[in-house]
Amino acid sequence: MQQALDAAPQNEQSWRIAVYPGDYYERVIIDRANLTLVGAGMENTRIIYGRYAGQKVSADSDETWGTFRTATLEVNAKDVTLSHLTIENSFDYPANELLDKVDSDKVNGEQAVALKVSQLTDRSVFNQIRLLGYQDTLYVQGGRSYFKGGEIHGHVDFIFGNGNALFEGVDIISRARMQPKKITGYITAPSTLIENEYGLTFIRCRLLREGGVPDNSVPLGRPWHPTTTFSDGRYANPFAVGKSVFIDTFMDAHISTVGWVSMGGTSKDGSRKQFNPLTEARFFEYNSRGPGAPINPQRPQLTKQSVKRYDPNKMIAEWGNKSPEVGINKE
């Protein structure tokens, strides 16, 4: 698949690549703008790779890949569309979780990204895409992106980053942990910069679970303040005021009653600080439904007036003459 991408003409014209059914065991990087990659369906076309954060870059090196270089597929260009395929990070998180802490085979650094939408992107479209991973499945690092239908599987912070992403009609599926835990994962971990209006917006989605995920065990999200280098030191970015919004979304019973929880970060003096999800983030819901959707003071609600700003047609219209068609089309 990478060979086909590399063979595309290096110009600004739109280019479309159709991918035959099959399993493609490779890491794929898209650096060409105005490119469309079309598979034969989520069940039939799969891109699979198993890099993880704690993995050594080479056998004779002490350097590891780190989270942000693990993606099975990485988009680094504007106006890229992917449709009708699966992207999987095949790192075996469950097997590693079962190992004893003193086992020499146990991996430190279990983060393993399936799809990275980098800060070089804008107007990315993902139509009927299945993303499979565990921790950090989808990294929306930057730009504007639109996810139409499809599925995203994971458990810990499995949709994260500071990009502006609209998810419409997507099934968000929490995966089981191999060791008993009160909290088994977090849907989102946004690091949205304060000047960005939208962050991670979910409209008419479904929050579902695989077998073995307990009731009341998965918060909707927590605020990620990435450790950042400033002129006066290195500490949690105070301008990253994460934003996640769920609108008209079904929530099964695994979703935590409290909705949102805190997340730790580094203070200027080097100590650890917990960032409050209600005062140091922008977390909201509107018209959530299902057994995991009680309304209480810990779950801020949008008003009928304020929810109007999240009209998908309005959000996508801001893309200008390259706006995709809004709405779910499974063809």
Kindly report, residue by residue over 153-171, the tens digit of the pLDDT. 999 999 999 999 999 999 9
pTM, 2 dp:
0.96
Contact 176, 214 (CB under 8 A): no
> Which residues of the chain are under the pLDDT cut of 70?
327-331
Query: CA 263, 267, 272: angle at the middle one, nearest 5?
Result: 50
Catalytic position from the list 79, 122, 157, 252? 157
Domains along the chain with CATH numbers = 1-222 (2.160.20.10)
Question: For residues 313 and 65, what is the distance between their CA atoms, to the nearest angstrom?
Answer: 39
157 among known catalytic residues: yes
Position 156: which residue type?
V
CA dihedral 173, 178, 184, 189 (to 10 degrees): -70
Q: What percent of the chain has pLDDT over 90?
A: 92
Contact 162, 196 (CB under 8 A): yes
C-beta neighbour count of 319 within 10 angstroms: 15
pLDDT at 322: 75
Tokens of 181: 């835990």
Catalytic position from the list 23, 136, 252, 269? 136
Kindly report, residue by residue over 220-260, the tens digit of the pLDDT. 999 999 999 999 999 999 999 999 999 999 999 999 999 99
Contact 89, 114 (CB under 8 A): yes
Length of the chain: 331
pLDDT at 331: 47
Strand partners, 88: 48, 132
Question: For residues 297 and 303, what is the distance between their CA atoms, to the nearest angstrom?
Answer: 14
Contact 57, 17 (CB under 8 A): no
Question: For residues 316 and 324, what is the distance between their CA atoms, to the nearest angstrom?
Answer: 7
* SS3 state of residue 119: coil
